[in-house]
Structure 1
């Protein structure tokens, strides 16, 4: 074969090279990422984000976003206050509660108002505190909420969200 053959067929050779590259890449991915991988198969486990990742932005004082209602939603977290909270002292990661916030940019917030946001978010407490929630189902607060009263108290209204006190300490946040 001479150089003229390659000159006449350079498009064909390029197409074959590109297709071959895709095939090799796909084969390598199938070997690297088996569809039926199980924990303990020797693959690295996905780790929850370290709080410093979240606090790189959310540790900025005054950080807020605007909800469709026009209300500001304050999304700053004081790292020292969180560290002193029960959850901070127990070493919980932000993603332990914020399971739906695992990347950036975050998915848009669907809540229309700050109250709607609080009513959506307080259910994160159920992941660890289902027993407390179940015990509260016959409370005046849950009855009011079930009747449609959006002003009814939920967990975070009294216990806080990022500044949760030890339950054995005086409850200064409860009116």
Structure 2
């Protein structure tokens, strides 16, 4: 009987150890943190909104019409460019690209996800049989060399 009790206790203890290891792993993988998903809601109290992390390096974007318009509409940078945590945390400025960036032939497809129509068909604005893309007229990011505000020691 003592042997059976010992085996039962080992089985319970073994199950407890396994459950104690598996359960936290499941909880962690099933519930991503805010750092992994980005802001869960738009913070009305922060004038820079969810873009604050981007503006650390991209200082010029604060006054850029594209950024201001989208921020007023509660559309942060991560909506188009993904969380880009590696890009934001890269101390070697410019070495890690954003999670999502767009080549010229991809711009319209991204814009049309939210902006379903336009007053003038692109074909009507074509120059040299080449239709413009949204950012030809509607401002694109004016990417300059990132400027990081640093204090000199």
- TM-score of the pair, normalised by structure 2: 0.45
Bigger Rg, structure 1 or 2: 1
Q: Looking at both structures, which has the greater relative contact order when contacts are Cα pairs under 8 Å and sequence separation is at least 6? A: 2
